[in-house]
Every structure is written in structure tokens, then in C-alpha cells.
Structure 1
Amino acid sequence: MKKVLTLAVAAALAGGTAMTHAYEAGDWILRAGAVTISPDADSDQVPGLGVTVDIDDDTQLSLIGTYMATERFGIELLAATPFTHDVDVQEVDLQAGEVTHLPPTLSIQWYPRGGSSGWQPYFGLGVNYTFIYDEEVNSDLEGIVGKADLDLDDSFGLSASAGVDIPFGDHWAFNAGIWYIDIDSTAEITLREAGNAKVKFDVDIDPWVYNIGIAYKF
């Protein structure tokens, strides 16, 4: 996905002569495609186990809406189908569990070429709220600690983004975008066979998010 995004940005720079209507105040832009969440995860050591955890990538369908408040500033909502990630123990080859989440992200965007025809780069700053649910403990981990439950707190954090629309018609464009999102959570493992003893540790998920798709301007 990272290589595809790099090629897309290069294509954007080469596609400056492609023409479409300029973005104007009151326009709506709908972007859809494939979005990959690639966590740059880091965690505290799990108390009693002396290990840390990592979180794998996942790709889902994206649906991103933008309203142009002016010809240079837009309001974007990033949405997608739910992401499911494996949670792995870093020090050994062991899958600890699985988590599902939704990370809606609201951003204010700046379009330096807003009001001009042709390709449209943009940059954004925003806020993210990540809903984490359906946490599961893998049987491999339960084979070590016994029956257990896993819970991760929801997260609220900031985000930064950049992207480009490369027009191929009056309303259609190819889109590539990237976000960095601050997602921090506290994980809690309940050991049911140890009197429901609880083990807590912090997890910084902090993913890079890559989107490739198409855009339509209303």
C-alpha cells in the first residue's frame, strides 16, 4: 500500500494538466476506495508476563465525505467498514488476541489550489475518536494463562493528513490520501481462572492510514 501511495502522488505531480471544475464553496466531495490501517504500535510490558504486544495491519472499504466551506477550506469525515486486527506478542511467535474498531476522524482541510482547475492537493488537521469492541483472547494465550477476557478502552486523539485528487473528468478524480492518527488505549486482561485478577497495561496504536480510491464532486 505504501508503494502504491507513492506512485499515486507521483502520478498527481505528472497529471497537473488534467482539467476539471475548480473546487468552490458549497461543493461536496465523496471519496471511496480501499483504506489500510498500519499501526506503529508500542506497549508497556504486560505485568507478570514481561512481554509487549504488537498490532497487525488491516484493509477495509473507505467512505470519505468533504464539504467545501470556502474554495480553499473543507471539512472532512473519514469513515470505513470495521477494522479487525490481530494482537501479537512481540517477544515470541504468539497471537494473543483480536480487536475490532471504528476510527471516525473529522478534519479541517486546506486546499492550496482551491479555486483553480486541475489536480488538487490538500492538507488537514483533525480529531479522532476510536471505538474499540469485540476484543477476543486467542486460544494460544489461554493455553498459557487460562481462560481470560480482553478489554481495550476507546481513544480520543489528534490527526494530521495529506492527499491529492487527480481529475479525469468534470466530476471524477483519482484520490490518494494519508493520515497519522494518535490512538492510545489501556488494555485490561481479566484472568478468570485466577479469581478474576486483572492485568492492565498501556498500548499506543498510533497508525499510519493509507487510502486509494476515486472521488466524485457534487
Structure 2
Amino acid sequence: MHNNKLTSALKVSAIAATLFSPLALANFSVNVGAIHVNPNDSSSYLNAVESAAGLPANSAKVSVDSNTQLGLTFDYALDDNWSLQLIAATPFSHNIKVKGSAVDGLPVGKTKHLPPTFLAQYNFGSANADFRPFVGAGLNYTLFFSEKVAPELKDTLVAVGAAQAGDDVSLSLKNSVGIALQAGFNYKLSANWGLHAMIAWADIDTDAKVKVNGQTVQPVDVSIDPTIVMVGLRYSFR
């Protein structure tokens, strides 16, 4: 038993030593800067709201505003040209509003999301070049949380008879998995420091539901599909 534990401990130590050895660490780079998400949104129509409010059919959709946060991305070089990147950020916050019809601009609610994205990158040119453009492709997972209904939406639902003043009105958004595409460049300023810039697109689709006392009164399919831009500093562990 003791020998098995000792063997396991030695294996863990060997793996840790390999991962954090100077040679392995030299393959890592960290990029820190501002990251901006600008939705290219579209949605299904708010037919239930249109019917209750007496609005023309197929006249109202929803829109999602943009947001900027602190971006933090990690690169790991597999060889001179191929690398892996993980994109992370502080939580994005978005306002959701009605788009179109007589209630255009009516606040629907708010949500936050985290969009971890994992990409494989191809870096052009020599590994020693100061300027290195890259392209990447991978997967995005978007986690929605802290959804809140706007008071204006609840007041509207009460006014048209779809809810009562004491009802619990809530908003939920389904998490999303989709592809992500990317292009950008790294520019070396010194042996360790540099500049990092990238633009990306992510396929983010969600099923949103407005609920009254737990019962869905308005489902809506939303395609957010944002353009993502990041500019920041780069530190390479060389």
C-alpha cells in the first residue's frame, strides 16, 4: 500500500516537474487587455407580446447591446507555427431590449455571461519574427447567469393583462456551444513583452424565456453571433 502511494506521488511530481519546467514554461504566453463583444443579433418575433399588446404580427424582436471587459488569454506553443489559445474574460453584462413596433426600445432585462473559447492557431512566419499574424478556429461555450427582468417589461405585461402586480416575472437564457473563428497578430517589443490584437466571431445561440410564476409566456430564439475584438499586452515566458 505504501509503495503504491509512493509510486503515485512520484508520478504526480514527475508530471508537475514536466509541466512547470523552464522548457515547458517557455511555451506559454499571456495576453491581457480590453476585450469588446459587439452582438450581430437577430431573434424570432415576440408573437405572444404582440398579441397581448395588440401590436401588428411579426413586428417586434429583441436586441442585445455591446459590452467591454478585461480580457485574459493564454497561449501554448506546440511548435514554431501551431499553438493553442484559451480566451477568458471578466463577466460580460448585456441589456436586452425590444426592437421594432410601437414598443421599440422597451427594456426586457439584463444578463451576464462568461464565454470561454478554446482555439487552435496557426502563426505565420518565423518563430523569431517580431510581427506574426495568426488565424484560429475552435469552440466557444457561453454560460449565461444573473438574468433579471426589467421593471418596464413587468409593468407592460401587467398593463396588457398578461401578468398581475404580485406575480413573479423572470427571465432565463439557455447556455450555448458553437464554433469560433479568429484572426490577429502578435508584435514583439522585447524578449518577453509584446502587443496582442485579435478579432473573432463566435456562433452564440440561446433560447430565452420570459416566465410568469414559472410558466413561459414568451419564448424567443436569439442569435447573438458577436464580433469580438481584443487589444492588449503580451508576456511570453522565455
CA contact (8 A) 1:130 1:183 kept: yes
- Alignment match, 1:107: 119
- Alignment match, 1:165: 186
Larger strand fraction of residues: 1
- Provide the rounded CA distance (Å) in 2 between the counterparts of 1:213 and 1:189: 38
- Alignment match, 1:89: 98
- Structure 1 residue ranges without an equivalent (≥5): 1-23
> Number of residue pairs matched?
193
Q: How do 1:187-202 residues align onto structure 2 when only pairs under 5 Å count?
A: 187-192=208-213, 196-202=215-221
- Structure 2 residue ranges without an equivalent (≥5): 1-23, 51-59, 159-167
1:177 aligns with 2:186: no
- Alignment match, 2:151: 139
**Which amino acid in the other structure matches residue 233 of structure 2?**
I
**Offset of 1:161 from its aligned partner?**
0.2
Runs of 4+ in 1 over 6 A off after TM superposition: none
Q: How do 1:112-123 residues align onto structure 2 when only pairs under 5 Å count?
A: 112-123=124-135
Larger helix fraction of residues: 2
**Offset of 1:117 from its aligned partner?**
2.0
RMSD after superposition: 1.7
Bigger radius of gyration among the two: 2
**Offset of 1:128 from its aligned partner?**
0.5
- Alignment match, 1:32: 32
Q: Secondary structure at the match of 2:154?
A: helix
Q: Could you list the per-position Cα deviations for residues 44-94 of structure 1 after superposition, in whole angstroms to 9, with x for gaps in the alignment?
A: 001312320000000000110010011100000000000000001111121
Q: Could you list the per-position Cα deviations for residues 145-181 of structure 1 after superposition, in whole angstroms to 9, with x for gaps in the alignment?
A: 1451100000000000011111211111111111100
CA contact (8 A) 2:49 2:218 kept: no
TM-score, normalised with respect to structure 2: 0.78
Describe the shift of the 1:74–1:150 C-alpha distance in structure 2 as closer, same or farther (beyond 3 A): same
- Provide the rounded CA distance (Å) in 1 between the counterparts of 2:69 and 2:177: 21
Identity %: 30
- Alignment match, 1:62: 71
- Provide the rounded CA distance (Å) in 1 between the counterparts of 2:132 and 2:25: 15
Q: Secondary structure at the match of 1:173?
A: strand
- Alignment match, 1:210: 229
Describe the shift of the 1:197–1:82 C-alpha distance in structure 2 as closer, same or farther (beyond 3 A): closer
- Alignment match, 1:10: none
